[in-house]
Structure 1
Amino acid sequence: MKTDVHLESPSEGHFQEMNEKGTIVTIDGPAASGKTSVSREVARRLGWRWVSTGAFYRGLAYILKEYRADLDHEDEIAELAQGVDWEVVLGSEQTRVILKGEDVTKGISHQEIGEMASRISQFSRVRESLLQAQRDCAIGVRGLVAEGRDCGTVVFPHADLKFYLEAK
């Protein structure tokens, strides 16, 4: 897969990277349950990396829009996920998406992109095409807080701590 995961240096300087996988905390839950807010704050307080796996789906949706791809063709979508040069950059409070050297993070937050991401995330081949890059987020970090679709069950099934949030 051409999708790369890179780490930004944290601004606070208390983060120490290690050579092997560190502690992993996952936060799952339905839409609007507070996953992003809670996970981002936990990562900030611990000085760990934070990843929203939804950024991978949103990044891919952005690519599909740029390439005018057919959202009903699972194979084409999975091929684009692996064939286009794009990367996900992890920071302590933001997961950025870079496409062909351009930061498109703001573009992936549009409602249309979110709807497309939700639609394509239903395809098993698409999820499989993004899985290894999502797992790679845990390499070389002291700790990782991951939130998003299937984080505790599929992406990091052996996470040290798993939370499921519900909002009422």
Structure 2
Amino acid sequence: MTQELIEIVDVLRPGKSLVVAIDGPSGSGKSSVSKEVARRLKLAYLDTGAMYRALTWFCLDRGTDLADRAAVEAASKSLPLEISTSPLEEYVRVGGTDVTLAVREPSISAAVSAVATTLGARTELIRRQRELIEQHHRRMVVEGRDITTVVAPHAEVRLLLTASEEARLRRRGMQLGGSQSAEQLAAQVTGRDARDSTVVNFSQAADGVVTLDSSELDFAQTVDAALSIVTGIIDHKAINRD
């Protein structure tokens, strides 16, 4: 990142609303990139996907039938969730139990779409997500699948982070340390995307949403590109306001 961009980031809208909404498919790198963008911008950070995973863990732990949409919705309303909103730490707790690692297990990955496609549960978690944004005075990087269009459609910056299927499968495979077969990876990445796309479109940018394709970029380049988009949008809005 250039020194000029670093200086801009350090003074970006101090004391004013700055919500950066980032959507993207599985394996696009949105969690790691969003977290680093939040750290650089000194903003709060919310991984909404972890909330759906926590609800999935909660349902499975209680023996809730994931095919029973009414039961899943009820579970979402009683979910005793604590989730980190700092890019400097990561924790997910349900009823005081640390499930930070548990919610990343393959069993949760295989089941989370059943929860994420339950509209009543989505409504409840979206309500909680919006509440967290307000609690942080609307200064937060929020990432997921429906942030730019549903959770925070009026965010100052809306970004769709995407990558080719090949790149996404490769990255997820590296993240899992080669512990899964090609078939398992495909089921986790493209399979889940197909299921979740029945309730939200995260493959194409809506009007006003900037697309960042990271297929040929490494992590540092993707972060710099995202920060350049953020500063460019904020500068443009400031000029138009003046």
Report if TM-score (shorter chain) is over 0.5. yes
Where in structure 1 are there 5+ consecutive unaligned residues? 1-17
Match of 1:39 in 2: 34
Q: Does structure 2 retain, via aligned residues, the 8 Å contact 1:33–1:167?
A: yes
Structure richer in helix, relative to its length: 2
Separation in 2, partners of 1:57, 1:124: 12
Equivalent residue for 2:110?
115
Correspondence 1:132 to 2:127 = yes
Q: Which runs of 5+ in 2 are unaligned?
A: 1-14, 165-242
Code of the aligned partner of 2:124: S
CA distance in 1, matches of 2:46, 2:81: 16
| Partner SS, residue 31 of structure 1 | coil
State the distance in 2 between where 1:84 and 1:38 align. Answer: 28
Return the structure number with greater strand share: 1
Shift of 1:165: 1.3
Deviation at 1:162, TM superposition (A): 0.4
| Alignment TM-score, normalising by the size of structure 2 | 0.58
Pairing 1:165–2:161 present: yes
CA deviation vs aligned residue, 1:36-62 (integer Å, no higher than 9, x gap): 121111001111111110011000001
Q: 1:94: Cα distance to partner? A: 4.5
Deviation at residue 34 of structure 1 after TM alignment:
1.4
- 1:1-168 alignment to 2 at 5 Å? 22-141=17-136, 143-168=139-164
Misfit runs of 4+, over 6 Å: none
Q: Percent identity?
A: 34
Q: Deviations over 1:96-133 (max 9, x none)?
A: 32112122111111121122112211111110121111
